[in-house]
Amino acid sequence: MTKKIIYRKDDDMSRISDLIEKFLNELMEESKGAIEIQRNEMAGYFNCAPSQINYVLTTRFSTDRGYVVESRRGGGGFIKITRIDMDENDYLLKMLAERIGESVNKEGAFELLEILYRKGLIDQRINTIIKSSIDDNTLSFITKPLRDRIRAEVLKAAVVAALIENY
């Protein structure tokens, strides 16, 4: 990425977000559904703050929209964005979004995992790992309303990541 995209000061943040999203989608098309980027390099390319890259990744490349975003920190850190094949997994993603929503309690989360296990979509090992990561004991330091919201996000991300590994 040697070319810089410069925008006028009167351009609003949604405009730069649109440009970043379009750029990432074009890269995704060229690379058949998975890309690795460096946040600071992207920010330099678009002449914006790194937080603007985070904003685009959070709002436009979410699990609900059919993407998995992984982040690795450190000197050689990168962000990996993987697109889920919506044709094959559309029903599953919709079910996850509806079933989990923005908040889910432990019982609802465990019930969903059992359904996925019984249907053969996740194995017992993955089932146990996800349950351990979203259990009330694990999240006990977080207040109850926030705990259920965090549990929902962790559950969606973990299930989607597990499903990607199976396809």
Q: What is the pLDDT of residue 62?
A: 80
**CATH fit for domain 86-166, picks 1.10.1200, 1.10.20, 1.20.140, 1.25.40:** 1.10.1200
pLDDT at 126: 94
pTM: 0.55
Predicted pLDDT of residue 64: 67
Sign of the Cα torsion 18, 20, 22, 28 reads negative
Phi then psi dihedrals of residue 34, to 5 deg:
-150, 135
119 CB neighbour count, 10 Å cutoff? 9
Q: 13-83, what's its fold?
A: Phenylalanyl-tRNA Synthetase; Chain B, domain 1 (3.30.56)
Q: Where are the domains of the chain?
A: 13-83, 86-166
Distance CA 148, CA 136 (A): 9
pLDDT of residue 120: 85
Q: Give residue 65's pLDDT.
A: 76
Q: How far is CA 53 from CA 10, 27, 59, 105, 159, in A?
A: 19, 15, 10, 31, 25
How is residue 4 annotated by DSSP? P
Answer for the pair 134, 106: CB distance below 8 angstroms, yes or no.
yes
Bridge-based pairing of strands 67-72 and 34-37 is unpaired
Instruction: Round to whole Å and give the CA distance between 35 and 26.
Output: 10
Distance CA 163, CA 147 (A): 24
Would you write out the chain's pLDDT as a tens digit for each of its 167 residues? 544 444 444 445 568 899 999 999 999 889 888 899 998 899 999 999 888 998 999 888 887 677 878 887 766 568 889 887 655 556 666 667 777 888 999 999 998 898 888 888 889 999 999 999 999 999 999 998 899 999 999 998 888 888 776 55
